[in-house]
Amino acid sequence: MTASTTAPSTLVTTDKVITSFDPPRTMAGAAIGVRDGLIDWVGPKDAAPADRYEQIVRLPGTALPGLVDAHVHLSFDPDVADPISDALDSVRARVTQTIESNGRRFLERGVTTVRDLGSMRGVVLEAGRGLGRGTWLGPRIVAADQPITRPQGHAWRIGIQSDSATSARAAVRDLFDRGAGAVKIMVTGGRMTVGTDPLSVEFPSHLIAAVVDAAHEVGLNVAAHCLSVAGIRAALSAQVDSIEHGTFISPNGLGCDEETVERLAQEIAQSGTYLCPTINADYPGRHPIPFEQRLHWVSILHRVGVKVIVGNDTGIPGLPPDLYPGALRALESAGMSSAQVLHSATALACQALGLGRNSGTLAPGLAADLIVVEGDPLADLRALSAPALVMVGGRTVAGSRT
Ligand SMILES: [Zn+2]
């Protein structure tokens, strides 16, 4: 396996290049030059300095930025019923195998960046470090490593348990020192942890705010697991960077009223907080809130201007990386245009992950994370289902034509 830094310089020519989605910028008969892991040229095919590249890849179809899944658990095996027990009971090698398998499967779906929002200590960080060394065949990883949770709180068996602002700050510092690229906090209980309540708010607001402060001090964004209305309110007032799930569960169960959702959605929009709804058209049945209801909440979020990003919760039981396209179709069903969905799956998600300016678009100077698909995804998102070429950091890592 070659390191990304030694991948041959490549000129990719296609029928069409979509460089970004907000608004969609397309170029017919275009080419992208890739060198040393970065894009170094984008423009019309005929004007491309072809002799400057070691290889030329000519493909029909459309080139676009690689896709993002903003909420995954690479170390969970989606084929087991209790992935946290499975992860803890397994030897490290077994977990590493799961991470590698999930990583490869993401590449096949054109996903070039993932944000891992909770794993046992160190395993995903270690995989992510392999990208630069050429030992990791998977997407670029922004990893939260261990989630911060209250004692015995959601995912406590893999998390860092905290019950004070002081220990929470220390946890953030420790995660940062070990290489975490994001901080995950469990603001409410979760369905996968026995004895926790999705309705509850697990931390006093000053502790959530302490996590946010400590994370921002070292340049990390905070993703808050929030299932309930109360949890979303608590996370918003502590100014977290993204709300994960955001399913608006209320004490009346499914009966959260439209007005509450609408009002809260407007607050989220005004605050600029990202929302990752972890909704998937191919995984409709296993949630306590009916799929149509969740879709309706997402349509409200989108309508009032919330920055909705694509994330699947990949790794939870029954949700392998292969289902990634279902997340895009769910957002489309919630009323987003294909360009808006793709913006949410590229540049907007990259912003939420705290990646650099313009990240998730195709432009000189940016990481060469891109895909080529047959057909035009702006006309039909199904064009994304089997990419012909997938490149991460300038290295071709998957695709039917490679
Ligand atoms: Zn999750």
Average pLDDT for residues 194-199, to the nearest whole number? 85
User: Cα(69) to centroid of ligand 1, in Å?
Assistant: 12
What pLDDT is recorded for position 106?
97
Report the separation in Å between the CA atom of 34 and the middle of ligand 1, taken as the mean of its atom positions: 34
Q: Domain 4-66+360-398's class?
A: mainly beta
Using a CB cutoff of 5 Å, list residues around ligand 1, an ion: 313
Give pLDDT, residue 88. Answer: 66
277 vs 2, which has greater pLDDT? 277
In the chain, residues under CATH classification 2.30.40.10 are: 4-66+360-398
Distance 179 CA to ligand 1 centre (A): 20
At residue 10, the pLDDT reads 97
Instruction: Please give the average per-residue pLDDT across 306-313, as a whole number.
Output: 97
Query: Cα of 279 to ligand 1 centre, how many Å?
Result: 12
Residue range 136-151, pLDDT digits in tens? 999 999 999 999 999 9
The distance from CA 198 to its chain's CA centroid, rounded to whole angstroms, is 22
Q: If you average pLDDT over every residue of the chain, what do you get? A: 93
- Each residue of 11-62: pLDDT tens digit? 999 999 999 999 999 999 999 999 999 999 999 999 999 999 999 999 999 9
The residues, ordered by sequence, that sit 6+ positions from 157 with a Cβ below 8 Å of its Cβ are 84, 85, 88
Residue 48, classed as helix, strand or coil, is coil
- Reply yes or no on whether the pLDDT at 371 is more than 90: yes
Both tokens assigned to 32: 């992208």
pLDDT at 255: 63
Query: 366 C-alpha vs ligand 1 centroid, how far in Å?
Result: 28
Output the CA angle 147-148-152, nearest 5 degrees: 100
Q: What is the pLDDT of residue 253?
A: 64
Q: How far is the CA of 213 from the centre of ligand 1 (A)?
A: 22
The fold of the 67-352 domain, in CATH, is TIM Barrel (3.20.20)
| Segments of the chain assigned to CATH 3.20.20.140 | 67-352
